[in-house]
Structure 1
Amino acid sequence: MAHLKPLRIAFFGTTSFAAWHLYTLAHLSMHQIIAVFTQETQVSTCKSFLSLYKIAKKYNISLFQSRTLSIADIIYIVKKIDVDLIVVVSYGLILPQEILNIPRLGCINVHGSLLPRWRGPAPIQRALEYGDSITGITIIQMDLGIDTGDILHIMPCKIFPKDTSHTLSNRLMNIGSAMLFQVLDQFILGTSTLMPQNSTYATYAHKLNKQEARINWNLSAIQLERCIRAFNPWPISYFQIKNDRIRVWDAEVSNQNINNYSSSASILPGTILATNPNGIHVGTGSGVLILTMLQISGKKITSARDILNAYKEWFKPNSVLE
């Protein structure tokens, strides 16, 4: 590919998922990254390797904090730097048509699902929450809609039973960055093809919020276990004991039903049915959830066995968790 002319690219992204794509582009590709636009704040990510600020600094790329710029400012900058293509990866803001029109090759987006399933800001988390067995990466040519553009490349990825948003994101980042290189090659060679999405199958992945992380014990054990994995590493599922927030980092569904724990006909969801070194067994709206890795506010993440050794009086059988 040495004889081919590298593309001049502006990169729009905000999360660590975006940062990995920027890193691989800057570190491994022949293309010129002319500018980075991000909503990421420098302070909050200074400890992370996957920081857009660190990558931009390391590779001497101009970085623009898009929260402090107007759309008119961004349009002015993108026009001035004369890019062939804009690459967008989990940026968090919709780009207006005026920006989409500027680059010669338009704008492309790397999205963490098999579009049209899970359009929107939280595709990885919602795929886990809803028990999907497969997801993937889709690269689209952007239009004005939210993840509605024509497909340039699509690649599936299996979801494993113990995947969290963290582990699944890591696999999808590697797939996405490899796919991005292929799509950029196709642009240079003039071989890219577009496939329209079938909107009949579209679903929307709503943005996560902290409120939904509070465990609703009326849900089934299966649904709660999915939520715990989907909300790891953020916002982390939790329940309350007195004034303490107990975060749940890992759990499993018991293969025993509630009747095996108690002869009572009606047990309130959230009732502790048993405790043992394997975990804290809690009744739900349907089935039993075993809490295995917990974190008390201000403490480290620890196994249920260690939590029970230190805080046994908090987890007495027949008490009800909030």
Structure 2
Amino acid sequence: MRLVFAGTPEFARAALERLHGAGFEIPLVLTQPDRPAGRGMKLQASPVKQFAQSQGMAVVQPRSLRLDGKFPEDAAQARAALEAARADAMVVAAYGLLLPPWVLASPRLGCLNIHASLLPRWRGAAPIHRAIEAGDERSGVTIMQMDEGLDTGDMLLVESRPIAPHETTATLHDKLATLGARLIVEALELAACGGLRPQPQPQEGVTYAHKIDKAESAVDWSLPAAVIERRIRAFDPFPGATGVLGGEVLKLWRAEVLPAPASAPGGTVLQAGPAGLDVATGVGVLRLTELQRPGGRRLAAGQVLHGMAVVPGACFTSGPR
């Protein structure tokens, strides 16, 4: 089976590597254009491009796939490459560009998407973050037959995983990337012998995982401790939850909810010691156990406090928006 692969970040790279290892012929890879990254803001290839080039795969990086859009020359180049690839199917994983109808109709078996949620829950751009933020008990991967809607296509394979109590976006991402890579191989093997049984998505339970905005990183201390703790985990590693203490913006990386009522306004430091910072919230107390000062490393809160003069009664404010 000949495949075109479309994807950009590490989540997609895991699938591309698994497909390559399973022996699928991949004559073409589509990925986002190189972006500035790092302290020097040098152009950096996506994880998918790096792997594809290491294996000698052809790579095309259109800024758009719309023939009538802002970059028609990019779309025309991609169309010529897709026609030359003569693909049986296209696999899409966190690509980052909308696929117009001409792309969806191009491969014989259409386009199969690896989506990191249990559809129809968390359609959209940030399903892993939003599942943790919402306190979902389970997540998973859906292999979906793509159509013109936003993650509305028929489900081909679904497998769920529990979300552990201390799960972060980083740890759940890695688990679902591995799961998605395995499921897409299984789906294509079934497709090759006519064994796939598409199922329409349920009409009930649809939610949308809106893209993460950096402004969301600022902690609202009037919220319940349990909600803030989930957001801290959901925003690890990006964008990172933040709070301002003594004029200094701190990244908040790990916390735990204490079984105690709040006895002060939200954001008030109740206790500072080796175990961490106990902070009052709108409902309950949150103990911050891992912090990061500007220009520093992620450290246990007790270590960070060695270099900060924090006393009970000091007050957190929200980070910059």
* Fold conserved between structures, TM > 0.5: yes
Quote the residue 1:221 is aligned against.
Answer: 225
Residue 13 and residue 169 in structure 1: after superposition, are their counterparts in 2 closer, same or farther (change >3 A)? same
Q: Which amino acid aligns with 1:104?
A: R
Instruction: Determine helix, strand or coil for the equivalent of 1:22.
Output: helix
The answer to which of 67-76 and 51-60 deviates more is 67-76
Quote the residue 1:85 is aligned against.
Answer: 89
Quote the residue 1:34 is aligned against.
Answer: 27
Give ranges in structure 2 of 5+ residues lacking alignment. Answer: 65-70
* 8 Å Cα contact 2:270/2:279 also seen in 1: yes
Equivalent residue runs for 1:275-286 within 5 Å = 275-286=272-283
* 8 Å Cα contact 2:8/2:46 also seen in 1: no
Query: 1:119 aligned to 2:123?
Result: yes
Output the CA distance in 2 between the equivalents of 1:49 and 1:276.
43
Give ranges in structure 1 of 5+ residues lacking alignment. Answer: 1-6, 260-266
Residue 49 and residue 97 in structure 1: after superposition, are their counterparts in 2 closer, same or farther (change >3 A)? closer
Match of 1:53 among 49, 58, 76: 49
Output the CA distance in 2 between the equivalents of 1:82 and 1:111.
25
Instruction: Determine helix, strand or coil for the equivalent of 2:12.
Output: helix
Instruction: Determine helix, strand or coil for the equivalent of 1:9.
Output: strand
* 8 Å Cα contact 1:229/1:250 also seen in 2: yes
Q: CA deviation at 1:319?
A: 1.3
Q: CA-to-partner distance for each residue in 1:159-187, whole Å, 9 max, x for gaps?
A: 00000001001111111111111101011
Equivalent residue runs for 1:100-179 within 5 Å = 100-179=104-183
Output the CA distance in 2 between the equivalents of 1:50 and 1:167.
20
Instruction: Determine helix, strand or coil for the equivalent of 2:316.
Output: coil
Output the CA distance in 2 between the equivalents of 1:306 and 1:34.
51
Q: CA-to-partner distance for each residue in 1:142-200, whole Å, 9 max, x for gaps?
A: 00001100010000110000000010011111111111111010111111110000122
Output the CA distance in 1 between the equivalents of 2:85 and 2:246.
56
Residue 301 and residue 48 in structure 1: after superposition, are their counterparts in 2 closer, same or farther (change >3 A)? farther
* 8 Å Cα contact 1:94/1:146 also seen in 2: no
Task: Tell me the TM-score normalized by structure 1.
Answer: 0.91
Task: Supply the RMSD in Å over aligned alpha carbons.
Answer: 1.9
Equivalent residue runs for 1:234-253 within 5 Å = 234-253=238-257
Q: Which amino acid aligns with 2:133?
A: E
Residue 130 and residue 189 in structure 1: after superposition, are their counterparts in 2 closer, same or farther (change >3 A)? same
Residue 223 and residue 47 in structure 1: after superposition, are their counterparts in 2 closer, same or farther (change >3 A)? farther
Task: Tell me the TM-score normalized by structure 2.
Answer: 0.91
Structure 1 residue ranges (4+ consecutive) displaced by more than 3 angstroms after TM superposition: 42-50
Count how many residue pairs are aligned between Structure 1 and Structure 2. 306
Instruction: Determine helix, strand or coil for the equivalent of 1:249.
Output: strand
Output the CA distance in 2 between the equivalents of 1:49 and 1:164.
26
Q: Which amino acid aligns with 2:47?
A: S
Quote the residue 2:211 is aligned against.
Answer: 207
Q: CA-to-partner distance for each residue in 1:88-108, whole Å, 9 max, x for gaps?
A: 001122101111001111001
Q: Which amino acid aligns with 2:307?
A: A
Match of 1:21 among 4, 9, 15: 15
